[in-house]
Structure 1
Amino acid sequence: MAVWETWRDAMERALYGADGFYRRGERPREHFRTSVHASPRFAAALARLLVDVDAALGRPDRLDLVDIGAGGGELLVNLLERVPDDLARRVVPIAVEVAPRADGVPACVEWRDEPPAHITGLVIANEWLDNVPLDVVELTPAGPRKVLVEAGCGAERSGPEPSRDDLDWLDRWWPLRENGDRAEVGSPRCAAWSGVIERLDRGLAVAIDYAHRAGERPVYGTITGYRDGSTVPAIPDGSCDVTAHVALDACAVAGEQAGATAGVLTTQRAALRALGITGARPPLDLAHRDPRGYLAALSVAGEDAELTDPGGLGGFGWLAQSVGIAIPSVLADLA
């Protein structure tokens, strides 16, 4: 017998239930390519940002480095290899991940399933918010209705009216205009991001994700599945990752309400270029003077190009919000 659920309930069970996709230990690198896996240059850019945050905080004796949605821990490992020795001795790396601790993660990395209650330092949430479960609402001739899904096959049908809170969020951030239009109610992501900001005593939090802004929302939504490196139908049966793009502009307002004192919303392309990931090709004469050096520099330029490609990873959104410090000048200039 078919069981019909809201998309939020189905995603929660499929991703984080007892035998959910992430709960059982699936690693992102096995199913889709993130900036972390594309190049260590991504970690190098974030290491530069960590140095700036440390300076803004007055170089405290303890500097928290929190990776939310840490996957296999690769970002923290790569970051720790790229910070100055003095800073490395003061950094406390914390991986936040519901899956069991990944093999090969150094003992110095604390592994936990919830962020610390108090954080002073840098929080990175790379492709985390897109996996926070949320509901889908469709405009029907009878008005807005939640979309129900059957987990076994992904079939859908119309369900109950959304709550007043959901309708208020939609009216502000993703209004539905014509029958058949769909929206993904991003309030759970706003709440999740607020929870991060509330834990940040002093420092900077950065959310990096597939994103869209008001006025540019996709008419039919963005829910997608990923498995074994391929896009697959978003069937919430636990067999695949189920994801949806993030309304980072709404999260920015939620962060401000939670206590963020400054913020920047930009693209990965702009942010990484500000952090030194330029993609500039080496001069051709270097090929004659230093062929090996030329090939190495050309490889770096290729990695930079992938990370900043506006049609790919470079098109991701970056939301950086601070508490108790200014946004580092390298990012503040993008406001």
Structure 2
Amino acid sequence: MRTMRDRPGESPHHGGVKVASCRVWITWREAIRRALYGERGFYLHQRPSGHFRTSVAASPVFAEAIGRLLGDVDARLGRPETLDFVDMGAGDGTLAARVLALAPPELAGRLRVTAVELAPRPPGLPARIAWRRTVPDRVCGLVVANEWLDNVPLDVAELTEHGPRIVLVDPCTGAERLGGEPCAEDLAWLERWWPLRKPGDRAEIGRPRDEAWAALVGRLERGLVVAADYAHSVHDRPPAGTLTAYREGRTVPPVPDGSCDITAHVALDAVAAAGERAGATGTVLTTQREALRALGVTGARPPLDLARTDPRGYLQALARAAEEAELIDPAGLGAFGWLAQRVNLA
């Protein structure tokens, strides 16, 4: 099991430096909230691109695909006077800026772009992009939540001989101990979405993510909302859970002290069900590979004849093919889960 257990007489190490324990035992949900979004939280002072690679950072091709999806939503909505594009967890605003820049003139004039992010607005972002800490009250268009749900704080449970217990953590060291029984709502969520089989099995209780997604769906009057994230389903939940952390491009132990990104994969099937309860009128649950291929991202290499007739063009096409291939790699970004839910959209 991938955990750091509290052992009497030992002082855990973090980043090669011996650290003292806070010995303030709190739930993982609260620890993640503080570590990511508290006064000294990771996401208020760090940009994700400096610590892990996302589809947005991998290639502008991702924004091109989102732009095509936006155009499709626009057509299906009957080309409304104002079309929204909302980027949840916008980071440094790269996706929002690229989608705006790529929009054809006829669409750009009607496009209202909103980046939702807790961190301060980055310098140099186009003035047309609204920078908000919360989702607009009413949205008509496309909402994209790329690697947003995996950072919604949640609790961790472990099965004991006496039933599930909440896992508590020392935020200074990542040391853990068991607390009390989960609340009735969380026990019901575990029973339905992540049943624990034997003592020692762990689960990340995804109910806060379901609620966050349902609230997002509830803001959409008409359109499409998409989540792309590390995911698993009720048929393949990992028995040890997925809680982990990233710092400077490396996987590190999940110590919720604000120095690293704390993340856990998403029970995307549970999220989809929550979206339907919130009013989604259609659901597609697939992989990023299949979703992007449907949007024209194929990773196909250019014909070799092009190397003789247009060497520069061939090299450019080859580089693009490599970027596309990374986005749809079934062993990498292509394995992400994609959840697309419609609200009053044909």
- Pair 1:12-2:63 in alignment: no
Specify the alignment match of 1:118 in structure 2: 138
**Which residue identity lines up with residue 209 of structure 1 in the other structure?**
D
- Pair 1:37-2:57 in alignment: yes
**Which residue identity lines up with residue 39 of structure 2 in the other structure?**
A
- Partners of 1:86 and 1:248 in 2: how far apart? 35
- Partners of 1:111 and 1:77 in 2: how far apart? 11
Task: Judge which range, 75-84 or 237-246, deviates more.
Answer: 75-84
Task: Judge which range, 12-21 or 38-47, deviates more.
Answer: 12-21
Specify the alignment match of 1:65 in structure 2: 85
1:103 to 114, 123, 127: 123
Aligned length: 325
- Pair 1:200-2:220 in alignment: yes
Specify the alignment match of 2:241 in structure 1: 221
Specify the alignment match of 1:251 in structure 2: 271
Shift of 1:227: 1.0
What CA deviation, in whole Å up to 9, does each residue of 1:3-43 have, x standing for no partner?
001100100111111111112x3111011100000000000
Shift of 1:284: 1.0
Specify the alignment match of 1:276 in structure 2: 296
- Partners of 1:285 and 1:217 in 2: how far apart? 47
- Partners of 1:183 and 1:110 in 2: how far apart? 37
SS of the aligned residue for 1:231 comes to strand
- Partners of 2:211 and 2:109 in 1: how far apart? 33
For residues 151-162 of structure 1, the aligned pairs below 5 Å read 151-162=171-182
**Which residue identity lines up with residue 312 of structure 1 in the other structure?**
G
1:300 to 299, 320, 331: 320
For residues 82-97 of structure 1, the aligned pairs below 5 Å read 82-97=102-117
Specify the alignment match of 2:184 in structure 1: 164
Shift of 1:166: 0.4
- Partners of 1:21 and 1:119 in 2: how far apart? 29
- Pair 1:141-2:161 in alignment: yes
The CA RMSD measured in Å over matched residues stands at 0.7
- Partners of 1:37 and 1:299 in 2: how far apart? 15
**Which residue identity lines up with residue 305 of structure 1 in the other structure?**
A
SS of the aligned residue for 1:22 comes to helix
- Partners of 1:81 and 1:22 in 2: how far apart? 26
What CA deviation, in whole Å up to 9, does each residue of 1:210-236 have, x standing for no partner?
000111011101111111111111100
Segments of 5+ residues of structure 2 without an aligned counterpart are 1-21
Q: TM-score, normalised by structure 2?
A: 0.93
What CA deviation, in whole Å up to 9, does each residue of 1:227-268 have, x standing for no partner?
111111110011111000001100000000000001100000
**Which residue identity lines up with residue 137 of structure 1 in the other structure?**
A
**Which residue identity lines up with residue 19 of structure 1 in the other structure?**
R
- Partners of 1:156 and 1:188 in 2: how far apart? 21
2:340 to 311, 320, 331: 320
SS of the aligned residue for 2:314 comes to helix
Segments of 5+ residues of structure 1 without an aligned counterpart are 327-335
For residues 126-137 of structure 1, the aligned pairs below 5 Å read 126-137=146-157
Shift of 1:286: 1.1
SS of the aligned residue for 1:123 comes to strand
SS of the aligned residue for 1:81 comes to helix
Which aligned segments of 4 or more residues in structure 1 are displaced greater than 3 angstroms?
none
Q: TM-score, normalised by structure 1?
A: 0.96
**Which residue identity lines up with residue 8 of structure 1 in the other structure?**
R
- Partners of 1:2 and 1:248 in 2: how far apart? 34
**Which residue identity lines up with residue 301 of structure 1 in the other structure?**
A
SS of the aligned residue for 2:73 comes to helix
